[in-house]
Structure 1
Amino acid sequence: MIVRIMGEGQVRLDDSHLPTLNKLDDRLMAEVDAADEEGFRQTLDALLTAVRDLGSPLPDDSLEPSELILPAAGASLDEVRAMLSDDGLIPDGLLPD
């Protein structure tokens, strides 16, 4: 799967890591709902760090279609709230059965 981190680029990530990322996504969604700025910031950083650590960056000139788009590290709580669906940032349809 190809994941885009806005403002950074794309990362190739094995689907097997999605359950781990989904746990962080669920926590992030709860923190956005609660307007918990400190928790939101920590969890967003943890989510993006996990994607970077578990994935392999694609070259800057690569134009692969992204299956998942994540906010930039400096995104505000309101910006992330606007990106959230009912499933969070990671749609349940992407998760392995």
Structure 2
Amino acid sequence: MIVRILGEGQYDVSDTVVDALNSLDAQVESAIEAGDEESFRTALEALLAGVRERGTAHPADSLDESDLILPPGDATLEEVRELLGDEGLIPG
């Protein structure tokens, strides 16, 4: 699966990693629902770090379409709230 972090690039992430990232995604979603800016910031950074650490950088010259698109680390709570689907940022 190819995951894009907006403004940063794409990462190749295995399905097992996506499963692990879902718990971090749930933390982002919970913080947004609670309107807790501090918890949101911590959870979003953990989610993005998980993609960076567990994924492999996708070639920058590749034109492959992303399977998932995540907001940048400096996105606001409101911006991410608008991106959330029924299943959070990461479906599954």
- Shorter-chain TM-score category? over 0.9
Q: CA deviation at 1:60?
A: 1.7
| 2:4 is the alignment partner of 1:4 | yes
What CA distance in whole angstroms lies between the structure 1 residues aligned with 2:90 and 2:56? 19
| 2:79 is the alignment partner of 1:71 | no
The DSSP-based 3-state class of the residue aligned with 2:31 is helix
Instruction: Flag structure 2 segments of 5+ consecutive residues without an equivalent.
Output: none
Consecutive aligned runs of 4 or more in structure 1 exceeding 4 Å deviation: none
**Partner residue, 2:56:** 56
Q: Spell out, residue by residue over 1:25-61, the C-alpha distance to the aligned partner (whole angstroms, 9 max, x if none).
A: 1111010011100000000000000000000101221
The DSSP-based 3-state class of the residue aligned with 2:11 is strand
Q: How many residues align?
A: 92
**Partner residue, 1:28:** 28
Query: TM-score, length-normalised on structure 1?
Result: 0.92
Which residues in structure 2 correspond to 1:78-97 (within 5 Å)?
78-92=78-92
Q: CA deviation at 1:18?
A: 1.4
Identical positions, percent:
51
What CA distance in whole angstroms lies between the structure 2 residues aligned with 1:24 and 1:58? 22
**Partner residue, 1:43:** 43
What CA distance in whole angstroms lies between the structure 1 residues aligned with 2:41 and 2:90? 17
What CA distance in whole angstroms lies between the structure 1 residues aligned with 2:32 and 2:62? 32
